[in-house]
Amino acid sequence: MRQILIATHGKMASGIRYTLELVVGKMDVITTIDAYVNPEDDVEKMLEEYFSVHEEERIIAFTDLRGGSVNQKLMQYAARPGVTLITGMNLPVLLQVALAGEDVTDEDIDGYVRAAREELQVISVKPVEEVVPAGENAAAGQSESTGADLSAGPAPSAAQITALRVDDRLIHGQVAMTWTKQLRVDGIVVANDDAAGDPTQKMALQMAVPAGIRVLVKPVREAIRALNYPKASQMRILVLTRTVRDALEVRRNVGEIGFVNVGNVGRFDGIDISQKKVLTPTIMLTQDEIESLEELLKLSPDACMQQVPGDEQNLVRDVIGKLK
């Protein structure tokens, strides 16, 4: 079995594991060593015990500093068959390795390291041109000028959407690094009025996705028009909304949707929690949102609640039934 070891000075190892598991979910294959937190810590003994337990397994080890003592102590194990040592780690390379299969090779890991280096950038907060498929802006403009009636339902050419997810953070680590891979999408449509009207927020969302995935950030009604544009049917698309109400609007007005997922909602809307029903620690709904969710279930009865792909899928209908 593939094992991941993270060993660093201080508490960086346990801290980055906590962050990693927020994105990918809990992983039993990860072990952390916080070295030199206490004067009596015997790092050599910790490593000796770890490698004796996992002697026959594939081990990918991460350290913080190439010249640091933790990395030096791990060097003696790096020559063993099945052990790969990576130093100067960052979260992107950890994510790639954590999401890789059991048969990940050193060549694969070398590619992850090269890609992770590109993640270290100075961000210039300037408006950027929206990343959309060629010709899509023109098509969207044509749709807007026709004044299409969304209440009439989806157009005959409506897209086969891979997934519709309700997530109050829209594009973030869990979406960018796990859901895009799980669903094998090549395009994301963010349907949110506020994000579409805020150039800085729009730019941040566009920069959050891995290379090769196209992003369209539009007000809900314009997003629906884009999804009903014939070219959209040629792509595997993940649609993101911030509220259940917006998800219902999308669901009513586009074609078939393969997977409807309520991930995170209601935490940052400024409405006091006393006015909400708490379905899970990350799903908090007002009465209006609950009513929208009930309508959504009529169209997609198998909608589930799931933060990351590794979590258990809980059917929304089972939880909603308990609220009555």
pLDDT at residue 119, as a whole number: 84
Rg (CA), the chain: 23
291: burial class by Cβ within 10 Å (0-12, 13-18, 19+)? middle
What's the pLDDT at 151?
41
pLDDT for res 155? 47
What is the structure's pLDDT at 22? Answer: 86
pLDDT of residue 159: 53
State if pTM tops 0.85.
no
Contacts of 26 (CB under 8 A, 6+ apart): 310
- Answer yes or no: 54 catalytic: no
61 forms bridges with which residues in the sheet? 5, 85
pLDDT of residue 124: 66
pLDDT of residue 123: 74
**Annotated catalytic residue, options 2, 54, 58, 172:** 172
Q: How far apart are CA 222 and CA 228, in angstroms?
A: 10
Residues of the chain with pLDDT under 70: 124-160, 323-324
The predicted structure's pLDDT at residue 292: 95
The residue count for the chain: 324
Q: At which residue do the structure tokens 């006091």 appear?
A: 272
